[in-house]
Amino acid sequence: MVLARSLLFFLSLVITTLFFSTPLILLGWAMPYRWNAVIANAWGLSNLKLLAWICRLGYQVQGWENIPEGGVIVMSKHQSAWETIALRGLLKPEQTWVLKRELMWTPIFGWALAAAEPIAINRKAGRQAVRDIVEQGTRRLEAGRTVIIFPEGTRVAPGQRKRYGIGGALLAHHSGFPIVPIAHNAGVFWRRRGLRKYPGTIQVVLGPLIHTDGLSAPEIIHAVEDWIETTMERLPQLPKEAADD
């Protein structure tokens, strides 16, 4: 039953992606950024509702009060595809995502992604990639947007961790904008390389603002990593269905 529901959701995800991508691809270049952002958020919210309806996989969020008005940097744990859908739908529409440029080459999805004005970096470019994050990210923050970064750079299985990259911390250090760290256990229910979506409730915790004035980039990323990983240890682990799989 879990597999059948997961396949049905995958089909619905393809359909919603085609539906919401079409206006962004055809008209995104001519529409105000705000309109493009609202359409992108509608895609995220629609898929969260479909996931709950089809796969019986919901979510619970703590810490909404920690999201400030204006520009802010969000650094999130990255375990599955769920958070790329959820953060797009749940956070305010004016978002800028830091992502690998290869995603922009994906037919349809990547073309629509361009309308949301992400910061697409070449991860092999080293210092130039970091400069792109700092320069473009600062402009987006000053425009009041939320800059979203997965500091580990790739999806990491539950119970594991990867070295946190310094790019987001450098952005915070140079721009002076605060960080909201996010911990969640989405990978427990939607594995990073798995098709099955197990029923349950994903726990999402938005941490207190990390103010970066007077802190070095290493101190900033250490504070982010310490809060996220400490919080991860308190979140529920495998649901019964996944343990029996």
User: What is the DSSP code (8-state) at residue 239?
Assistant: -
C-alpha distances out from residue 207 to 45, 74, 178, 180, Å: 22, 10, 12, 6
| Secondary structure E strands in the chain | 57-62, 72-76, 95-100, 119-121, 146-149, 179-184, 200-206
Alpha-carbon gap, residue 78 to 80, rounded angstroms:
6
**pLDDT recorded at residue 7:** 96
Split into its structural domains, the chain has a count of 1
Taking the C-alpha atoms of residue 13 and residue 129, their distance in angstroms, rounded to an integer, is 31
Tell me which residue range forms the domain holding 187: 2-244
Give the domain CATH number at 177: 3.40.1130
pLDDT score of 239:
62
CA atoms within 13 A on the CB side of 204: 23
pLDDT at residue 245, rounded to an integer: 45
Distance, in Å, from the CA atom of 161 to the CA atom of 215, rounded to the nearest integer, reads: 24
Residue whose entry in the numeric block shows the structure tokens 């953060």: 87
pLDDT value at residue 243: 43
| pTM score of the predicted model | 0.92
Residue 115, SS3? helix
Alpha helices in 114-236 (DSSP H): 127-142, 167-175, 186-189, 217-232
The tens-digit pLDDT sequence of the chain (245 residues) is: 899 999 999 999 999 999 999 999 999 989 999 999 999 999 999 999 999 999 999 999 999 999 999 999 999 999 999 999 999 999 999 999 999 888 888 888 989 999 999 999 887 777 898 999 999 999 999 999 999 999 999 999 998 889 999 999 999 999 999 999 999 999 999 998 888 999 999 999 999 999 999 999 999 999 999 999 999 999 987 665 544 44
CA 105 to chain centre: 19
